[in-house]
Amino acid sequence: MKKSERLLAERFLLQCIFEEDPDFVDKTMAAFSVSRSTVYNYINRLQENGELERVGGSMPYRIVYRTSRFTIDTSKEHSEDRTYNRDIAPLLAELPLNVQKIWRYAITAMLNNAMEHARASAIVCVVSRSRLCTIVGILDNGVGIFRRIMQEHKERTGELLTSEEAASLLYAGGYTVDPDSHAGQGIFFTSRLMDHFAIRSDLQLFTPHEDDADDEGAERFRGTAVQMALANDSTRELGEVMARYYDPEYGFVRTEIPVARFFGGSFPVSRSEARRLGEVLKEFHEARLDFAGVEEIGPDFAHELFGVIARRRPDLYLVPENALPAVAAAIRRAEQKA
């Protein structure tokens, strides 16, 4: 077998093991027309290279990540680009250029948040790499992102938010505790660029991906912890992702909201919930509302959002997606009464 074919087979094998597929040997044999002994030669080679380790049990192997960790003293380092260029870029230099561009945007955006908003004395960055993907964690010992949002909101409006409501302000994009200096777009675009993205602070979790909500309610983290993951062979392009939400003339005017995540997994029923959703959409002209995971909505919520708010905002185009029949029917009734 040629080297290129062997590398493809090894990657396929690694992907099966990553997905914990118990038939990883048979599937690799079938996909590449090789013998069982050849597959185990691949496994031995991957173990010798430090890419796999044997752990026993029903899934006898697991992926090994090469991990680099460093700490940023915020009293001495204030430039996220220097940190990235010095410490992180060399670790990702072998990745395709489009993936490098995504990582540069994502990591510098999250480092900037930690440096300028978190009031942290230290930031820890952890970069874990395998042949399949790269995982980056950015952790700081600051006040905590949701606590910071709650504080800013109370100072500005006098209203005390819950941590869940604070997290919901981030889903549309455009929210920032420092509007004079920041556009508040970094978290939104980073979360759309990544395969996996989550922010944890205290006991609150922010993620637009339902698959990443499995560890909700885990142990309390006092500062802010950001975790990002992206396949090394991702075909995603930074410019193409941003173009989905940007208008050449008007800027960031399109957004999308995972409704189930926005409301913490509960189904929205009240007018005040609809107004809260409408408030985060006030700067947008188009909003895709993903109702996946929402089994029903209340008639008051539907009427307020798709009747009252839609009538008052003729420039706002609301696009419901993945709505179950009961949800779609409630939306239709609300639109008919508008």
DSSP letter for each residue of 250-305:
TEE-EEEEEHHHHTTTSPP-SHHHHHHHHHHTTT-SEEEEE-TT-----HHHHHII
Q: What pLDDT is stored for residue 327 in this prediction?
A: 96
Of 53, 30, 48, residue with least CA distance to 39: 30
Q: What is the pLDDT of residues 177-189, one digit of tens each?
A: 877 777 789 999 9
CB 254 within 8 A of CB 247: yes
- Rounded to an integer, what distance in angstroms lies between the CA atom of residue 145 and that of residue 154? 14
184's tokens: 């508040």
* Residue 149 CA from chain centroid, whole number: 19
- Rounded to an integer, what distance in angstroms lies between the CA atom of residue 307 and that of residue 309? 6
Please give the C-alpha separations between residue 248 and each of 244, 253, 286, in angstroms, as whole numbers.
11, 10, 14
- Rounded to an integer, what distance in angstroms lies between the CA atom of residue 129 and that of residue 245? 30
User: Given the DSSP bridges, would you call strands 246-247 and 251-252 parallel, antiparallel or unpaired?
Assistant: antiparallel
Average pLDDT of every residue of the chain:
92
Q: What pLDDT is stored for residue 30 in this prediction?
A: 95
77's tokens: 């380092």
Residue ranges in the chain modelled with pLDDT below 50: none
Q: Is 189 exposed, middle or buried (0-12, 13-18, 19+ CB in 10 A)?
A: buried
Question: What secondary structure letter does DSSP report for 308?
Answer: I
Q: What pLDDT is stored for residue 117 in this prediction?
A: 84
Q: What pLDDT is stored for residue 217 in this prediction?
A: 53
- Name beta bridge partners: 251: 247
- Residue 94 has, within 13 A of its CA and on its CB side, a CA count of 7
5's tokens: 């074919």
Q: What pLDDT is stored for residue 78 in this prediction?
A: 86
| pTM of this structure | 0.91
